[in-house]
Structure 1
Amino acid sequence: MLRPSVLFSALLVTLPAAAQTPASTPAAVPNAVKVVASDHASLQAAADALPATGGLLVIPPGNYELKEPLRIKSADTRIEGAGPATHLINKDESGQPAVILAPADLKTNAKSKLWRVQVANLRISGSKKSGHGLYAENIEEIYLEGVSIDHNGQDGIHLKNCYEDPRITACILTYNAAVGLNIDGCHDIVVNGNQFEENQDALRCVDGFNLCMTGNNVDDHLRHGVVIENTYGSVVSGNMIEECNGTAIILDRDCYGIALSANVIAHHLEGGVDLRDAWGCTVSANNFVLAHKFGVRVSEKSGRNAITGNSFTNSYIGENKDKRPATAKTAMGIDAGGGVVIDGGSDCTITGNTFTGLPEEGIVATDASKRLIISSNVLTDCGRKLPTGKPSISTGKATEVVEVNNLK
């Protein structure tokens, strides 16, 4: 029988058969069961005891060392731990995941799917030589809740083709060598109330649509915060994204129809929002504080975007004082700020924003930019490091520019 370092006793329980149903209703399927891991020789044996119709796998407190992935192959299944006291430790050093959720016949049937698999209330960790913490493929309506995933050699969580309605909530994803949460080929995605810290990137969403990322805390990432590619119809709102060595949010590779709103985007060494290949998107009501190179950048591959109602600022705290010094031992320690850079983009509105305490111009458009409306913005104390008299809005030879009613 399985004996982790600390274990609560539990019994294997099989639920009673369903009551007889009327002849007019479909025949009842066999009941799901409850399986307790401590009643089996290994975690895998416990998982294999779940029937195809699913059930509840309870993993009591303890340290469980995994030399190969724990494979979950049944639908309508929930794997439940006892919080971080249930600790799955990946001891594999060949790059395999700690946990794999996937249909048993996936290798021979690429269209095979499992529905409604859940993982909750446990910890998964690894090492530099291990793979993903949790890898899921072709799981529809996957639900991950209250999972702590840290120190894995690749992604914390990697979802591949979990197409229908994936939900990730109240998880903490930290110190993973690649991406905290990597979402590939999914749609109608909810990422809510999670914490991300010191992964390479916090979240990547690729080849999907309808991402709803709200209320997350993203801190101290080695590269970028949120990277979205080839995705449309999504919202990133109400998140706190702080201290990336790269950029807070990147939209690239045919993104369109995405709203980035009401986020605090604080202290990034590259920039705040980089619209590398993004069309028809909205950047509104965000606070860009201490973004070193730019607050929002719109590249030559992007256009038809609205940038409105944002605050671009440094660490000014009133009475002619900045909270942070002009020089420090590290770049993260200095006062900084970036505004809007239209780097060849087109058909954009920049309206109703405030730009304050920035070392350079509040708004810059390169010569290749065109069809811009720059209106009703407030620019105060910008161009601190520029020669006296240089304007706080610079559009160079950009064409078809309407610049009116700005207070500067």
Structure 2
Amino acid sequence: MTTVLAQGGNAPLGSARVVVEVAAPERLDVSGLLLTAAGKVRSDADFVFFNAPQGPGVTHRPAAGGGPDAIAVDTAAVPGEITRIVVTASLDDRRATFAGTEPTATVRDADTGRELFTFTPPRLSRETALVVVEVYRRGAEWKVRAVGQGYANGLAGIATDFGVAVEDAAPADTTADAATGSSPAAPPVPAAPPAPAAPPTAPPRPSAAPQGPATPPPMPSGSPAVGKITLDKGRVNLVKGGSVSLEKAGRPFLASVRMGLGWEPAGRGRNIDLDASVIAFDAQRAKIDTAWFMKLSVFNGAIAHSGDNLTGKGGGDDEAITVHLGGLPPEVCGLVFVVNSFSGQKFTDIKNAYCRLVDAATEEELVRFDLAQSEPHTGVAMCKLVRQFSGEWVMTALGEYVDAKTARSMVKPAAAML
């Protein structure tokens, strides 16, 4: 017989191996975090999700065959210092909220498939991510608790709250109002922050070239100064190390651009999950911010990421990053666009990788760089945009491989490429 849990309710787990399924009318990303008695992960390896599906005693199971995303827990294999596993859900559409799409968690016996518990949180509103349930240790016994704690800042907010080193995530006190159970094990829920300013759809084109910073950014190697390549003659195909000025008829040509990045699996039937990001630097090559799949908007929307592509399949760009050049803070002097394999797949497993610069207003492709060679590394810096002292932007094709699984690990090598 299935037990229906109310928010804050708990019960003995009754099975050593369980699967926690989370389903909703909209597509979800489900994750699990292994926490110590301090309420924190031991390291980022205790964050189990679609890009890192294996943890000690905890496994992410992607949606398949009509079944939802799930987290499997083998309590006998969970390390002794781990006291609880929290199961989270975030919406695949990171612009949406859980209002009207409350998820239902179903806990099943992993060996028999028998339904043990279900839980649906009370009506939600502006939450974009939830701690749905937790499987926790009480002495020698394992139990399950219905939590239903909402966060207004997505999966990054949850991950940060529990100690995952999320790149430039918002502070962990930006949870939404949804109440947790009364148990002391459940984390407190601070007041929700004010809604962030809406990102600009396209900042107005400045009447003159934007004023450069007091200290000019470093001129990239190969950046044209005399006889430079511009957009006057139309689309430009770059080779590694080649540069093009985003000018036409001697004047800044673009207000908003989109960097499209794409790739294909090298082998049949294999999914390739790569993550595109852009790292913003100041004139001294110090990182200012990063836009990536867990932080889709920076600088009040002046840079906007399209979201994560989990397979690399399909036509067109796999991921895209839009940059409203006129909306960038004046201290932003360099942007480096990188692609990483968080799961450790090498770039020898992909083919036809490219980046292309598109006029965001007209959809016209302006610049293209096809990565000619693959190397057995987990990261690549595809290209950079550098603002010159005059306000002119120059794009340079990089194609430099690095052993780095995350954008965070790309910061130092990317800075050196400016």
Tell me the TM-score normalised to structure 1 length: 0.25
Higher relative contact order (CA 8 A, sep 6+): 2
Structure with the higher fraction of residues in helix conformation: 2
Q: Looking at CA atoms only, which structure, 1 or 2, has the larger radius of gyration?
A: 1
- TM-score of the superposition, structure 2-length normalised? 0.25
